[in-house]
Amino acid sequence: MATIRNNRISTTLKDTTIVDVPELSLGAVYSDRDLQSVASESGSASTRAVREHRKISRAEGCFITKRPAFYLEKAYWVNAVRKNAALRLQIELFLQNLDIVRQDFTLDAPSNLSPMDRNLHYTLDKLGFFAITCPRATLKSLISLVERENLKWQDRAVRGASYSRDFDFTQPPLIDATYEIVLLYPHHFLQKGSSLTVFTEDGGKLSGKMYYVSPDGALREGPEDDKLRLPAFSSNRARKPEAVLNPFLVVVNAEIAFRRFKRQPQTLCAEYTELIDLTIDLADKIYFKPIIDKANMIRDKHFLAQALSQAAEGDVDMEGTVGELGTGEAMDKYGTVTQRGVKRSRMGIVVKKPGPDASHDEVVDYNRYLMSGCDYDDDDDDDDENDDDDDDDEEEAGNNGGLDAGKNACAVDAFKKVQQWQVTDHHCRR
């Protein structure tokens, strides 16, 4: 808000401290408030604590362009469709039951996060003009890997033995997966012949190359069909093995975008069409029916439904009808699905919880919906992503959506007990 002071127009600017990034040889820029205490030991310790708390280094550039910047945002590959701690835990347990994440996985884990340019993040997450998947070779390797594990699961089941799909996240093709852009609405993404600049690092310096939409709708080195497409890229700077981006989560994200695109398909180049088909094929194998059935059985048997319903009954208003785990169906008082609920899902629709006689496809579609939450919420304020407390994930998970901690405590505690049981059971079955 602007005002007049001493016959001059004055405006209030947010006074922010920019922490140092030693990997990029960047010093800290202190706010007036922090500048007064920067020389003190407590001030320095506080600054170090903020920097060290981050799960992803600020030196890690944009997932797509590789350009580091302070305006990069955290992009979630899988996100809850509701701001609800119990729902987040339900999704985490569902992914663990599929064996496609580590047993200590949370939605805030680095393996589910990538730094991304604000414009690209919004275009990917909210507008859906493009999607990210793996290249052809990686998708085929992942399909073969999942197929082998599904066959092992079936073989053990025939013999009456339990088995968990065993994906080694420290070995190829999971540890060294690469990724590709698939333009779904090319000319909406890059308008009037504009380009996307992608950087490579050479000798500590970045070198940029511009990519354009060609007549066949692909992203190429020039605006002609005979130019090379943007090549597959890795997941940025080296991370610890447990923090490496999980390609299964990227595929889950991409499949949601591709299925929505197929409802109103447009002609794409042959390479993109093949990537879409392979991604959907891989996702179908990830959602292996016997495992989905068992995951639902575990949920129905061990989720302490009575305690959860008591925690939610009359306490949590999630924009209308409060269903299982406090996950409202985004309906008004007349039972009509609200536009607000639709906007919060990248699927563009609201999927109701299936009944006991639901088909496998209906069950998968519901779980896909729960995991289709947008990072961007039209009702949220424009938060400054540069705030370092944005990485205080434990607090964020517990208080998301402004819910009082006491109202959801019973539900969250019940889920944590289920998670602990699930980890123990997982190791026993191994």
The string of DSSP codes covering 115-168 is: EE-HHHHHIIIII-SEEEE--HHHHHHHHHHHHHHHHHHHHHHHTT--------
Tell me, what's the pLDDT at 166?
Answer: 94
Which portions of the chain are predicted below pLDDT 70?
Answer: 1-2, 10-18, 20-28, 30-55, 236-237, 299-343, 377-430
Q: For residue 52, what pLDDT is reported?
A: 40
| Distance, CA of 124 to CA of 74 (rounded, Å) | 12
Helix 247-263 to helix 360-370 angle (10° resolution) is 110
Instruction: Summarize pLDDT for 147-191 with one digit per residue, the tens.
Output: 999 999 999 989 988 899 999 999 999 999 999 999 999 999 999
What's the pLDDT score for residue 162?
86
Strand partners, 227: none
Q: What is the pLDDT of residues 401-416, one digit of tens each?
A: 444 444 445 445 555 5
- C-alpha distances (whole Å) from 106 to each of 112, 277, 286 are 8, 29, 19
3-state secondary structure at position 306: helix
Tell me what pLDDT residue 403 has. Answer: 41
Strand, helix or coil for residue 40: coil
How confident is the model at residue 111, as a pLDDT?
95
What does pTM read for this prediction? 0.77
Residue carrying the six token digits 């859906």:
128
Calculate the CA dihedral of residues 301, 307, 309, 315 and round it to 10 degrees: -160
Which tokens is 149 given? 């594990």
